[in-house]
Structure formats: structure tokens, C-alpha cells
A and B are shown apart, each in its own frame.
Chain A
Amino acid sequence: MIMLLEVDKLKIPLPFSGAIIKPILDRYTGFDRDTINILWKALRTATAAFPVWVLTEVQEAGGSHIKITILKNSFYTLAKNKKMCYTEEN
């Protein structure tokens, strides 16, 4: 899974895996390990249901545009299909 961070025309693909997300949840929430595991499982299930999941999109009054999308695809699949440019529909 990939978290694609877009800031205006800049696109930054980041790995979206348990090894990265679980420590973040541990650091920034008061959840115990079991709850974090449940949340991570829910995140994975959500990604299966919404393969291109636009988690958040911000259009700042100043003009900046920020978008975070969780993609079910792997880096390998993205590179293979050259699908770093995508639409919400695909």
C-alpha cells in the first residue's frame, strides 16, 4: 500500500505499512497495542474496499492544494502500470 502525498504539483509516494503506521499511532494516540492492531486491520480492510481512497483534500484559501490518497497498489504495480498519475475513478 502507498500513501500518496500531493502538495500542489508535487507528488510524494510513501510506503503505507504496519511498520510505519503502527509506531505513529503508538506515538500520537493513547491507544494500547491491541487497539492499534485493530485499527491497522481496519485500515487494511478499508483500503481493500476503497483501492483509491482519498483520505483528505485541503484547498487553502491562499491557493495551496494538499491531498493525501491511500492506494492499495504496491510501488511495483504503480511503476509497472506507470500509474503515478491517477484519477479518483480509477
Chain B
Amino acid sequence: MNTMGNRIAEFRKKKGLTQDQLAEQLGISAQAVSKWETDASCPDIGLIPQLSKILGISLDELFGVEPEQSVVLVPEAERKKPDQLLFKVVIDSADGDKIRVNLPFILIKALSGHSDKLPIQMGNLNLSELIDIDQLVAMAEAGLLGQLVEVDSTDGDHIRVFVE
């Protein structure tokens, strides 16, 4: 699945769409889709966002960009000051809601040790039950950056915590 055409065909089939159906949703001809999939041509740049949305994939996936290393250990000399660090909580719920929460490290640090008293409730999820905040603080202090937590809940919610 190296070429763009192969990727479009693969994701289209995964989505259960025919070339005609994909073409109809994009307002183009089925022949155009066929040409993409055989790498005879490429999608117009204006169609790319809509195409990725219909296929339910990110632009990186569409273009075949490999994900960056999810976690890096930053040498002590190159680390940001703690007050410049940001925890990003990314929740993609099973219902289709997208929730983004940005919490400065200094705030998380102030919460550590007390997280049991603070109900960090997002939808049906109590994050303080799912995620060990004290452990996250320790990891960030040790110089770990990137995606530190990834949780797939039984309800189908997808939760990730990044430190940047």
C-alpha cells in the first residue's frame, strides 16, 4: 500500500464504499476515482480534506506519512522549563464527540496528590480514575515528552494524553 492510489482504494474498501459512491459524495465522476486508484492522476488539492473526511482518515494517513516517534526522552540540558510544559488530553468519544483539554504542567503539578478529590469528569469518563496523574507528573519531570497515555475504554472512547 505504497502509492496514494493504493491507499485511497484500501481505505475506500474499508469504509465499504464503491468508486461510484465515493465519486457521488465528492461530486465527481467515478472515472476520476478510478484514475486516482490506478495512479493515473491525483485528487485535486481542494478535494483532499473532503476525501479524508469521507474515508474517515487523517491527512497523514491519506498521504502515507508515518507517525512520529510517540515518546521522546529530552536530555536535561534541552528540557523546557516546567511552566512551559503543557498536558494535552485528547478524547475521541464513541459518540463522535471530539474533546481537547490543555492543562499547563504547573496546574497538574499543583493537583498531584489531590487528584482523587477532583472529579475530572468528561462525559461518562472520570479521568482521575483512568489516569494516574502523579505518575504523569513524574514522567514529565523525568523529561519524557510526547504521547504518554493511550486508553481505549470499553465504551469505545479513545483517550490520549500528550506532554508538549
Chain A residues in the interface with B (C-beta under 8 A): 28-31, 35, 38-39, 41-43, 45-46, 48-50, 53-61
A30→B101 contact, CB < 8 A: no
- Complex A-B: 27 CB contacts under 8 Å: A28-B119, A30-B118, A31-B117, A31-B118, A38-B110, A39-B107, A39-B110, A39-B111, A42-B107, A43-B107, A45-B83, A45-B106, A46-B83, A46-B107, A49-B84, A50-B86, A50-B102, A50-B104, A53-B102, A55-B103, A56-B101, A56-B102, A57-B100, A58-B99, A58-B100, A60-B97, A61-B96
Chain B residues in the interface with A (C-beta under 8 A): 83-84, 86, 93, 95-104, 106-107, 109-111, 114, 117-119
Residues of the B chain whose Cβ atoms lie less than 8 Å from the Cβ of A31: 114, 117-118
Known: A30-B118, A39-B110; 14 extra A-B contacts, CB below 8 A, are A28-B119, A41-B110, A45-B104, A46-B106, A49-B83, A49-B84, A49-B106, A54-B100, A56-B101, A57-B99, A58-B100, A59-B97, A59-B98, A61-B96
Residues of the B chain whose Cβ atoms lie less than 8 Å from the Cβ of A45: 83, 104, 106
B104→A46 contact, CB < 8 A: yes
A54→B102 contact, CB < 8 A: yes
Residues of the B chain whose Cβ atoms lie less than 8 Å from the Cβ of A46: 83, 104, 106-107
Main secondary structure of the interface of A (DSSP, over half): mixed
Q: How far is the CB of A57 from chain B (nearest CB, A)?
A: 5
Residues of the A chain whose Cβ atoms lie less than 8 Å from the Cβ of B99: 56-58
Minimum-distance CB pairs A-B, first 9: A61-B96, A42-B110, A46-B104, A30-B117, A59-B98, A49-B83, A57-B100, A56-B101, A42-B107
Q: How far is the CB of A47 from chain B (nearest CB, A)?
A: 9
Residues of the B chain whose Cβ atoms lie less than 8 Å from the Cβ of A28: 119
Choose from B100, B110, B117 the contact partner of A56 (Cβ within 8 Å): B100
A58→B104 contact, CB < 8 A: no
Instruction: Using CB atoms, name the residue of chain A closest to B108.
Output: A42
Residues of the B chain whose Cβ atoms lie less than 8 Å from the Cβ of A61: 93, 95-97
B97→A35 contact, CB < 8 A: no
Q: How far is the CB of B71 from chain A (nearest CB, A)?
A: 23
